[in-house]
């Protein structure tokens, strides 16, 4: 599949998931389904989103296998690997907090070989996309990280040691990283070692293709095998200098 | 004007502001205009939003005067007082963070006599409304605060002393209060004494009409004269018990 066909299928999948989820009664989204493949609490909205992905992929002849936060590795006989958190920001979604997204990335073995990614902001309909070496877009317009200004706004968890005039905490990593890519945020810092590649595979490519960095807590460019085992912290920022300025990297 | 006519005009105003703002090039929203009537930094987006409110009110014969964060008290010869933060969450708006709103309330002299209010989430199009004694709605559906559950989610500023499993910080008070009204959040706590009635007049009515509470830091039901002078802290919560549970009121 060439990169245009890959991006078209990712787009079809993202919209199918968002539409399918919105058709389900909101009152049922939060029904508890116990633990998923990675040990995270699964909600009904996660399961219906994942099932819709598998259904659409099968309708396309199962071109890719799936690595999903809830379902683990799902073999469809395909070549590439679709790495997905079908609903990122589940707690926000089931409560009706308008900040959650569908996150889909196509890779092979490692985060660094992810070739295309899409993050769809479900409540607003905004679409963030990237293809490796071809840049990132928001609703089709090219994205670029923010030039450093006087006043900084950073999203991070409460209690994190971050220096910025404006601090936010939105509760959906993939979407917060995309706001770094679009220049809305100067940085996003998640200090608890509980993220998985399913959360960040698409957004990592989007940030990097917009000119930003995604690093681990030692300051190295984040790279990981595409499995559910690694749990990690992460910083996305407009630049390495910005990561230093907000205090998440030593000067 | 009866309450239905009042709500219709508030709705017309809110949509006019949102549409007008979206027609302006996004790159210009953040142009700095110096200090507004209340000493806050004014951005171009605040000014165009306020001008649109005055234009629409004049087209309706100037039925109300206006108290606005940027412009102060604007006499149009009217009877009621439109209390407004035309764009609440200005920092989010000018950066492209999808969490900001138009806030409009119709009152007379005090917060407690506000008779109708509307908060329009600009990026999603969600409309929160309330009329005194007639309940609150989201997109026309009745709103009710959240029943207390096992796991709490509260929005507050970073560093605030709040006990909850999930902490958020979205950066637009009126909209965060409306998420308490809708049951999306268990509470919203703003501990810095810098809020004004223009920020919270509409959302206070919406929370109360949804069955929640809006209190000051002594625990008294918030009430203030409708002027720009008072600066205050605020907690909105599903109940007084919830405010105690998250630690913003003593047990």
- Residue pLDDT, tens place only, A155-206: 999 999 999 999 999 999 999 999 999 999 999 999 999 999 999 999 999 9
Q: What is the pLDDT at residue B29? A: 92
Question: Hey, which bits of B75-126 come out as E strands?
Answer: 80-88, 101-107, 116-121
Q: How far apart are the C-alpha atoms of B124 and B126, rounded to whole Å? A: 6
Distance from CA of A119 to the nearest CA of B (A): 14
pLDDT digits (tens, 9 = 90+) for A208-243: 999 999 999 999 999 999 999 999 999 999 999 999
Question: Touching check for A139 and chain B: CB below 8 Å?
Answer: no
Q: What is the pLDDT at residue B38? A: 65
Q: Is the pLDDT of residue A34 over 90?
A: no
- Distance, C-alpha A138 to centroid of its chain: 14
CB neighbour class for A152 (10 Å; exposed up to 12, middle 13-18, buried from 19): buried
Reported confidence tier of residue A93, pLDDT bands at 50, 70, 90 = very high
Q: Which residue of B has its CA nearest to A183?
A: B95
How many separate helices (H) and strands (E) can be counted in chain B? 6, 15
Nearest of A179, A120, A121 to residue A153 by alpha carbon: A179
Q: How far apart are the C-alpha atoms of B38 and B40, rounded to whole Å? A: 6
Residues of B in contact with A99 (CB under 8 A): 98-99, 170
Distance from CA of B93 to the nearest CA of A (A): 9
Reported confidence tier of residue A144, pLDDT bands at 50, 70, 90 = very high
Segments of chain B with pLDDT less than 70: 37-38
The mean pLDDT value of chain A amounts to 95
In our burial notation (b when 16+ CB lie closer than 10 A, e otherwise), range B172-211 reads bbbbbbbbbbbbbbbbbbbbeeebbbbbbbbbbbbbbbbb
Other Cβ atoms closer than 10 A to A54: 17
Is the torsion defined by CA of A18, A21, A23, A27 positive or negative? negative
* All residues at 6 or more sequence positions from B94 whose CB lies less than 8 Å from its CB, including other chains: B29, B30, B43, B45
Question: Touching check for A157 and chain B: CB below 8 Å?
Answer: yes
Nearest of A225, A215, A201, A186 to residue A88 by alpha carbon: A201
Q: How far apart are the C-alpha atoms of A177 and A202, rounded to whole Å? A: 10
* Alpha helices in chain B, H assignment, sequence order: 3-23, 44-59, 90-95, 173-181, 197-209, 240-245
Question: Which residue reads 């605020």 in tokens?
Answer: B234
Percent of chain A with pLDDT over 70: 99
Residues of A in contact with B168 (CB under 8 A): 97, 169-171
| Angle at CA of residue A102, ends A246 and B187, nearest 5° | 65
User: Given B91, B169, B179, which is nearest A169 (Cβ)?
Assistant: B169
Beta carbon pairs, A and B, within 8 Å: 76
Residues of A in contact with B184 (CB under 8 A): 95-97
Distance from CA of B115 to the nearest CA of A (A): 26
Reported confidence tier of residue A38, pLDDT bands at 50, 70, 90 = low
Question: Touching check for B139 and chain A: CB below 8 Å?
Answer: no
End-to-end CA distance of chain A: 44
CB neighbour class for A137 (10 Å; exposed up to 12, middle 13-18, buried from 19): buried
Residues of B in contact with A170 (CB under 8 A): 99, 168-170
* All residues at 6 or more sequence positions from A132 whose CB lies less than 8 Å from its CB, including other chains: A114, A115, A116, A205, A209
Q: How far apart are the C-alpha atoms of B43 and A239, rounded to whole Å? A: 27
CA dihedral B45→B47→B50→B52, nearest 10 degrees, is -80
Q: Which residue of A has its CA nearest to B92?
A: A184
| Angle at CA of residue B239, ends B233 and B242, nearest 5° | 80
Q: Choosing among B22, B29, B98, which should be mutated to test the A contact, i.e. which has the most A CBs within 10 A? A: B98
Mean pLDDT on A87-108: 97
Note whether B177 and B130 are within 8 A (CB).
no
Residues of A in contact with B210 (CB under 8 A): none
Q: Which residue of A has its CA nearest to B183?
A: A95
Q: What does R_g of chain B's alpha carbons equal in angstroms?
A: 17
């Amino acid at each position: 599949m060439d990169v245009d066909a890959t991006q078209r299928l990712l787009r079809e999948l993202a919209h199918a998931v968002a539409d399918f989820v919105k058709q389900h009664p909101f009152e049922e989204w939060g029904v508890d389904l116990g633990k998923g493949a990675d040990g995270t609490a699964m909600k009904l909205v996660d399961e219906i989103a994942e099932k819709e992905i598998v259904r659409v992929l099968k309708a396309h002849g199962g071109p890719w296998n799936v690595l999903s936060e809830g379902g683990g590795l799902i073999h469809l006989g395909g070549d590439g690997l679709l790495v997905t958190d079908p609903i990122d920001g589940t707690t926000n979604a089931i409560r009706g907090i308008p900040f959650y997204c569908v996150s889909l990335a196509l890779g092979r073995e490692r985060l660094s070989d992810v070739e295309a990614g899409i993050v769809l902001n479900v409540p607003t309909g905004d679409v963030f996309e990237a293809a490796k070496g071809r840049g990132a877009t928001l609703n089709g317009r090219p994205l670029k990280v923010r030039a450093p200004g006087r006043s900084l706004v950073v999203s991070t968890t409460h209690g994190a040691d971050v220096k910025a005039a404006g601090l936010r905490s939105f509760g959906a990593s993939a979407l917060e990283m995309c706001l770094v890519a679009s220049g809305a945020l100067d940085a996003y810092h998640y200090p608890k070692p509980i993220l998985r590649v399913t959360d960040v595979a698409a957004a990592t490519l989007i940030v990097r293709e917009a000119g930003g960095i995604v690093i681990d807590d030692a300051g190295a460019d984040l790279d990981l095998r595409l499995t559910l085992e690694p749990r990690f912290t992460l910083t996305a920022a407009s630049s390495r200098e910005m990561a230093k300025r907000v205090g998440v990297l030593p000067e």
